[in-house]
Every structure is written in structure tokens, then in C-alpha cells.
A and B are shown apart, each in its own frame.
Chain A
Amino acid sequence: ETGVTQSPTHLIKTRGQQVTLRCSSQSGHNTVSWYQQALGQGPQFIFQYYREEENGRGNFPPRFSGLQFPNYSSELNVNALELDDSALYLCASSQGDIDGAFGELFFGEGSRLTVL
């Protein structure tokens, strides 16, 4: 039990729709990162938020966007859904400091998105 919770656990959307996924970070953590994991593949880094600011982004188009709130929980938004967006979306929380170093990642159980 990592203390990181994600919702919803499963959802089905159709092409062109928009989706919002939510993540509550572990108490005391100020950094949240998001990952996309296709079936049989390793997670792919989408972006990271540190104290409400995006401070790192992987190779994902702008239709993948996010937010981090003052309580350090976070949202991942995906617009104009495509079939290839079907995947497990994982969030992880960690504690970052002013120098950028941070420690262990604690992952949630993920949100399984299916796009039809």
C-alpha cells in the first residue's frame, strides 16, 4: 500500500472524446509524475509536476496536459482520444527538493483506459 490513489480504475471512451484521470499523492510528497503503459511494455514518462509547476515532459503531444493542485494531487487530461491512447495510466508521487533531487517513486495502481 503506497498511499497513492488513482481514479477511476477503469473507463471506456470513444475516439475523439476527452478524459480526465486523477491522482492523490502520498502525504508529504510534493511531486507527481504520470506514465502511460501499453500492454506488454514498460511505462513511458508523460510529465512531472513539482509544486504545481510542470518541470519535465516526455515525448507526448500537447493534447496530453495536466495540473497539480495546492494539496499536490494531480490530474491528467487527454483530449481528442485516439485508439492508441488505450493503456494503463500510472501516477507516482515523490518528495522533491529545491535542488531537484528527489527520492523514491511510489506508484498508484493505475487507471485502465480503453478507447473504442
Chain B
Amino acid sequence: KNQVEQSPQSLIILEGKNCTLQCNYTVSPFSNLRWYKQDTGRGPVSLTIMTFSENTKSNGRYTATLDADTKQSSLHITASQLSDSASYICVVVTDSWGKFQFGAGTQVVVTP
């Protein structure tokens, strides 16, 4: 069973609308949590990194939240653009030497 679960698996949103992606994890110990954007056929690109003590972090129209007590994170996309169409991957890093646990990703499609 994957220790990092993302939902929904996919979603379609209209350009200009907001959406929220969820990430629940059971990984322990916890070092930090990262969100990546992966365009089709490309390597992932970092959006945010959050440590245990951080509740929220923004990167432009992307805002990530973290609740380390409930082991949940979310990524909120504001005013979506066509270029936001991609897979969004949640990654939990388990220790200082970086044992990475990747979620399966949420496929976002933004339509005109």
C-alpha cells in the first residue's frame, strides 16, 4: 500500500477557477513534504517544500498547506490557467538522507 495517497486521481476545471488537491500520508519519520508539477513527458518541477513547523507556503498562484498532526497536505491552485494542466505530485521525505515517498499524482486538466 502506498504510504502517500493523493486525491482526486484526476480533475477537470474551467480556466479561471480554483481547485484543491489533497495528499494524505502515513510515512514516518517525517522530514519535509514537497509538491511537484510534472508536465506530460517532462521531469517534475518543484512548487513548494514544507517542514514540520510550516503550515502554509505559497508560490505564486499555488498555496500548499500542511497539518503534520493529521498527516494531511493540500495544494490550492488559484485562478487556474491552461498552463496549469499537468500532474501534481506530493512527495514526503522521511529522513535527513531523503528517503522519498511519492504519491501517484493528481492529473489536472484546465479547459478554456
> Which residues of A are in contact with B by a Cβ distance under 8 Å?
2, 4, 33, 35, 40-45, 48, 50, 55-56, 58, 88, 90, 92, 94, 96, 99-102, 104-110
Complex: A50 Cα to B97 Cα, angstroms: 10
B11 / chain A contacts, CB cutoff of 8 Å: none
Distance (Å) between the CB of A100 and the closest chain B CB?
A: 4
- Cβ–Cβ contact B100 & A55, under 8 A: no
Please name 14 further chain A to chain B contacts, defined as beta carbons within 8 Å, in addition to the given A88-B41, A100-B96, A107-B43, sorted by A numbering: A33-B100, A41-B105, A42-B102, A43-B89, A45-B99, A55-B97, A56-B97, A90-B44, A92-B43, A104-B46, A105-B44, A106-B46, A110-B41, A110-B43
- Cβ–Cβ contact A42 & B103, under 8 A: yes
Complex: A101 Cα to B105 Cα, angstroms: 25
16 contacting pairs across A/B (C-beta < 8 A): A2-B43, A33-B100, A35-B102, A42-B103, A42-B104, A43-B44, A43-B100, A45-B99, A45-B100, A45-B101, A48-B97, A48-B98, A56-B97, A56-B99, A105-B34, A105-B46
B4 / chain A contacts, CB cutoff of 8 Å: 42
Number of A-B contacts (CB under 8 A): 62
Does B49 lie at the interface of the complex (its beta carbon under 8 Å from any beta carbon of A)? yes
Residue of B nearest to A45 (CB): B100
Distance (Å) between the CB of A21 and the closest chain B CB?
A: 13
B101 / chain A contacts, CB cutoff of 8 Å: 45
Does B45 lie at the interface of the complex (its beta carbon under 8 Å from any beta carbon of A)? yes
Complex: A30 Cα to B4 Cα, angstroms: 27
Residue of A nearest to B87 (CB): A42
Complex: A50 Cα to B96 Cα, angstroms: 13
A99 / chain B contacts, CB cutoff of 8 Å: 96
B102 / chain A contacts, CB cutoff of 8 Å: 35, 42-45
Which B residues from 54 to 112 make CB contacts under 8 A with A?
89, 95-105
